[in-house]
Amino acid sequence: MKINLSFAPTSAELNVYSCFNKTQEEKAAKTTKTSKKAPASKPKTEKVLVKPHWPEEVTEAFEHAVASKHYKGDVGETFALTLVNGQSAIILGLGDKNKVTKETLRRQIAHIYKAVSGRYEDMNLHLDGFLLKGEQEESLAAIVESLHMTSYVFDRHLSAKKTAKLQTINLVTSEKKTAQKKFEAAIAEASKIGESITVAKNFVNEAPNILNSETYAKEIEKDAKSLKNVKVKVLGVPELKKENMNMFLSVNAGSAYGARLVHLTYTPKKATSKTRHIALVGKGLTFDTGGYSLKPGASMMNMKFDMAGSATVYAAFRAAVLLELPVKISCYLGMTDNAVNEKATMPDSIVKARNGKTVEILNTDAEGRLVLGDVVNYACDSKPDALIDAATLTGAILVALGNEVCGLFSNDQKLADALLKSAKNSDEYMWQLPIIDEHKNDMKSVVADLKNIGGASFGGSAKGAAFIEAFIEPGISWAHLDIAGIGDSQGHLPYCSAKGASGLVIRTLVDYLRKQ
């Protein structure tokens, strides 16, 4: 799909214009035939259409359409027209102009794309009626993000590809040419983020018999080598043993594929001693059977999504590099699957973590925290200004927040507040949950320093976070994002797939990195 910026009218099969509405009161009659005054009646209200930047031919076609009298311009309400030149036009209602947000634009552009992508080859989206006052570039970026995310399909294994008929979208504006650089920059930046989200989605959606720890590491390495100012280091089983990552290796023990830790480093061109350094860590479980604590068959389906945390942080890293953000970023991806064979780790096993703490593994299905514990400890060696991990860690987060909200845990309120602010800027749902001393105490073992599940079944997400925190070195600001609810199948958002990778939280992380 091509997205073009045009400062002049362009010929296309379809034209899309926006429409708003405002409420207007009808004044009641003040005079009566009797000498006494009639009681004042409540004023009636009606919705009046606001038609921003409609050309004369569109206004004329709309007014000549008999059914136009029923059109109110409410959010998502559309009206189709045929213009005198033979082109089609759709009026897209956005409701009360004062209530329109960037997220309104994302969602409504997604609806329009889905409605027309199979019917037209090219489309003019007339921007002037969509750009919010004082937020023109931001509005444009939201529209482009939506187009990238909505147009995504995972069809690489289909004999018949799902190619959309719509191949060209012209973003048409009557703004002065002086706005060209700003608009082009907004489109380019949003496209780089959108392309990185696509990369993440492709990884998450790939079948586990194709994407294992070894092939995944190779694909990341191949893609990362195309990026500027990025160094790649891949640790295999021998290197992980030297690093004493015994928790990580315990998860990998039953696998036919060697564990991999992909370590990526981006250093901006003008880095100084004052340049901020952010570490991103991702859980990369390419498939999770639960190990000896075997999952039920129904729960095992879609466990290919258990590496979404690693794909999420890699996509954020990738987008930040493409945007040439002036912040140093280290990215650590812990890759393995959790399988069962005669060498697999058994419940009741005790292993020593990289930081020297011993861990009693009571449940081999609580494996993500074992991988992350060693990897975040490794990441602490570089002494970052902040360390953020993302993982599909617990089913308990869905109980707490539903499948629409990302759970946030942190040992630094300033870092937590910055992430929450970036989530709000990106129109993504994130909610902070606590880690209290009782959670930490419940993760203590009688026969080892720690155990990998709590004694009580409640508060599972917080206790999983408390476990990871035990491997964060003193003085390191840390945040944990539990994306188990939002990593896939976000059908309530029209720009996300009803089934499959969502690509969420990537925009939040990029916004956070941008502000560093």
Ligand-binding annotation for 367, yes or no, is yes
Instruction: Report the alpha-carbon distance of residue 197 to residue 147 in Å, rounded.
Output: 12
- Angle (nearest 5°) at CA 309 between 378 and 442: 70
Tokens of 311: 């794909």
User: Rounded to 5 degrees, what are φ and ψ at 43?
Assistant: -65, 140
Instruction: Report the alpha-carbon distance of residue 467 to residue 162 in Å, rounded.
Output: 43
Long-range contact pairs involving 444-449 (C-beta distance under 8 Å, separation at least 24)? 445/358, 445/359, 445/360, 447/350, 447/360, 448/350, 448/358, 448/359, 448/360, 449/357, 449/358, 449/359
Ligand-binding annotation for 243, yes or no, is no
Ligand-binding annotation for 437, yes or no, is no
CB 230 within 8 A of CB 264: yes
Side-chain-side CA neighbours of residue 324 (13 Å): 5
Cβ within 8 Å of residue 110, ≥6 positions away = 146, 149, 150, 493, 494, 495
Among 218, 481, 235, CA closest to 374? 235
Instruction: Report the alpha-carbon distance of residue 164 to residue 73 in Å, rounded.
Output: 28
Instruction: Report the alpha-carbon distance of residue 80 to residue 89 in Å, rounded.
Output: 6
Tokens of 285: 């479980």
Among 515, 516, 484, 514, CA closest to 502? 484
Strands 430-432 vs 406-410: parallel, antiparallel or unpaired: parallel
Question: Residue 52: helix, strand or coil by DSSP?
Answer: coil
The per-residue b/e assignment along 175-202, b for 16 or more CB within 10 angstroms, e otherwise, is eeeebeeebeebbebbbbbbebbbbbbb
228 is an active site residue:
no
444 is an active site residue:
no
Instruction: Report the alpha-carbon distance of residue 389 to residue 476 in Å, rounded.
Output: 13
Long-range contact pairs involving 449-456 (C-beta distance under 8 Å, separation at least 24)? 449/357, 449/358, 449/359, 450/357, 450/358, 450/359, 450/360, 451/359, 451/360, 451/361, 451/362, 452/359, 452/360, 452/361, 452/362, 452/363, 452/366, 452/369, 452/370, 453/362, 453/363, 453/366
Ligand-binding annotation for 365, yes or no, is yes
Secondary structure string (H, E, C) spanning 481-507: EECCCCCECCCCCCCCCCCCECCCCHH
CB 464 within 8 A of CB 369: yes
Ligand-binding annotation for 283, yes or no, is yes
Catalytically annotated residue among 295, 352, 421, 444: 295
Instruction: Report the alpha-carbon distance of residue 121 to residue 116 in Å, rounded.
Output: 9
Binding residues: 283, 288, 306, 365, 367
Active site residues: 295, 369
